[in-house]
Amino acid sequence: MRISALLLGGLSAVGAADVMFLESPGFEKSQHATLKAILSEKLSKVEGKQLCVAHGSIGHDAAATFDKSCEGGIALLGAAPAPEDHQQIKGRMVVIGAELDGVVPFSHFAVARHLAAGMPNRHFAVVAGASHATFTSTTQEVLETDLKPVVSNDRSMEQITDIIRDFAKGGGEALSAAEAVAAELATPVVDALKLEGSTKLGHVACNSDYPTNPTCSYPQFPAHSLPFGPAPAPSPPLPSDCLCGSPWVVQSAPMAYNVSGPYASATKDAFADVSDVHPFHLPHIFNKCVKPDASCMLNVTSVTMHVAKAGDLWPQGKSAPLSIYEFKTKFKSREAMRTNANDPTASGDLDKVSDMCKNINKAAFDWALEHAEASVKARFQKSGEPMVMVDDVEATIGATGPAWIKDELVFKRVTDSNSPTGSRVEVQSWKFVVGNANGGDVPWFIPAGMHYCKLLSPARAMEWIYTDSMRYSAKPTTIVV
């Protein structure tokens, strides 16, 4: 079998026997020479068509250019191709990721795998314990972003070449095992992003003012706008499978309300800009109960804005997390919930707490830790930088209104001698509470019975456990050339 390694799409070609290299920085001779030698030996008895090996996103583009020449398939290392990238390549392809890749974080690989589900001739395999430098020389750029591998480069090379050999043959134990590892590691990441309500999984967020997804059933409140009326409808209309709101906000709402009796609540959440006044978007309780017994079911809405950014503690650009930085979530207050349930314990004191948002954020992190793949959880508990929730802080009211709108979840690194890394990251929410004036029986333009939070996404927690908790202490320290 002939082997062509397409290295990041460079233009100068160096050929030897049946092997062609397209040189460029990042996949240097010392690395691809080892790969070439092992592959040549393992594929010497494999009959077939030319196989191509590429690295990274630019390597993918090079492979797309040579797609017709790669009749034996393409092995793509250290990349997370998007659905449109797959459309450029018609032949067979195996995407090989590294579990401890800090440059192309594992969450990117997991999402790429999810989005490629159902595509023909696509395989996703993982080399456990490897880093991005396993695939390429450790340049300064890689050094600043990558994680430290926990398996030797020789062992990783053996695994990579075994996977490629099986791929070339049409199947085998090494490929199957690496695909199984990919599934085990990727499933919790994708599940966390689904719980977040992430748009990274192929669906856009709905517009609750112009509903197109019949499953949302989100009653709009207060349905009033400042002049000159509501914003225009999206054009073209959003798809019918758009995301209604955050499943995590819905799941955590009972923690926010903290009802005291046998009655219950059902919350629907919608994504909206919390500063939007065309129209206003406010949480609301749509019914009242005669008495607070088991027959009482309060129908409630919440409003959530997802803030998509990396944050100061995370790498930017292509290595940034896929999860959101925070939810800006508007809940109804505990006082309002009990008032509408006709619960005699209703009191403004119920919302004079500094742990409502904190406890929801702790639950998000606990969910991620509980659902992380077992070996990832064990590694984090042994070596990862802890993330700890601290008390909520009351947001102020400034000249332009509540500062809560612009205030963002605070992530602060502090020294911790008991931490595996010597530090921890403290997470602090901002709260904003509005009393339930006149039992909530006020005109729409008078806010009443609100308790707003800045919430941690379970997906941001999952990415922290998998990758980002290791960045502060598990960086590679030398450049390999």
Burial class (CB in 10 A: 0-12, 13-18, 19+), 120: exposed
Beta-strand ranges (E) seen in 169-263 are: none
Of how many residues is the chain composed? 481
Query: Which residue, among 100, 99, 5, 98, has the nearest Cα to 43 in the 3D structure?
Result: 5
CA trace torsion 155, 161, 164, 169 (10° rounding) = -120
Q: What is the pLDDT of residue 3?
A: 55
CATH 3.40.50 residue ranges of the chain are: 3-196
Tell me the pLDDT tens digit for each residue of 112-152: 999 999 999 999 999 999 999 888 766 667 778 999 999 99
Structure tokens at 278: 């065309």
Tell me the pLDDT tens digit for each residue of 154-185: 899 999 999 999 998 899 999 999 999 999 99
Burial 433-469 (b: 16+ CB within 10 A, else e): bbebeeebeeeeeebbbbbbbbbbbbbbbbbbbbbbb
Tell me the pLDDT tens digit for each residue of 370-379: 999 999 999 9
Residues of the chain with pLDDT under 50: 7-25, 477-481
Q: How far is Cα 216 from Cα 228, in angstroms, rounded to an integer?
A: 27
Tell me the pLDDT tens digit for each residue of 62-94: 778 877 778 888 889 999 999 998 888 888 999
Q: What is the pLDDT of residue 279?
A: 96
Which residues lie across from 299 on neighbouring strands?
Answer: 266
Q: Can you name the CATH fold of 3-196?
A: Rossmann fold (3.40.50)
- By the 8 A CB rule, do 63 and 39 touch? no
- By the 8 A CB rule, do 357 and 454 touch? yes
- Give the three-class secondary structure for 154: helix
